[in-house]
Amino acid sequence: MTMQEVEEVDTLLMEAQEETHRVESDDMEEETLLDADEGELLVLRRLLHNQDTPYDKAQREMIFHSRCTIQKKVCNLIIDGGSCTSVASTILIEKLSIPTIPHPKPYSLKWLNDGGDIEITKQALICFSVGKKYRDNVLYDVVPISACHILLDRPWQFDRHVMHDGFKNTYSLIIDKEKIVLNPLPPNQVHKIKPGVGSEKKRDLLMLSETRVERALSKGK
């Protein structure tokens, strides 16, 4: 096939996918809003400290934070469209004794800590739920992160036809002809936890976004 023919085929496939998604959207009967799950949160070190922000601007500088349920335990969830890999924290894997499998293509990460490269050698298939309407199984790379228990990536959004509302910072998808909308946590709730018995002592590392630092510097603070 010539390059022009390949491009024409790709265009037809994209148009077919968009048409299928439009039909599914037109056929759906109702919309369900899913807030973060509530309950005793699985132990996780606190990393960020956010000041209260007016509600209409609260999500402007925030990535999506929510809470899901894994094995009847409430866990922190992040959705990051800039990530190409879904990851699960080693803390989650250890605390819930989730089985892992060897990673088919091990690789190294440099940005997760200051101690040098981190070898990613394991994966885990994890079932999680948000509310009573959304339940999913995702294959995660096991990574020693402290920002959340699980992080969902761009491929997850693509595979589930997930739509992101940048202003409201919500993620929506269609399940059984019903539109499910995942609501973000307010900034002042992102790291508010209810530790269980035997929880580790909390250690705070105060951080601000780059935008807020630049704003403070420009005002001479």
What pLDDT digit, counting tens, does each position of 164-210 carry?
999 999 999 998 889 999 999 888 777 654 444 334 444 444 455 66
Identify the CATH homologous superfamily for domain 33-52+61-196.
Answer: Acid Proteases (2.40.70.10)
pTM for this one?
0.65
Answer yes or no: are the C-beta atoms of 66 and 77 closer than 8 Å.
yes
Sheet of strand 170-175, all strands in order from the earlier edge strand to the far edge: 31-34, 178-182, 170-175, 163-165
Cα angle: 134, vertex 135, 136; to 5 degrees: 125
Give the domain ranges of the chain: 33-52+61-196
Among the ranges given (24-38, 75-89, 104-118, 128-142), the one the predictor scored with the smallest mean pLDDT: 24-38
Query: Residue 23 class from Cβ within 10 Å (0-12 exposed, 13-18 middle, 19+ buried)?
Result: exposed
Question: Which residues on neighbouring strands pair with residue 165, listed in sequence order?
Answer: 170
- What residues contact 198, with CB distance under 8 A and at least 6 apart? none
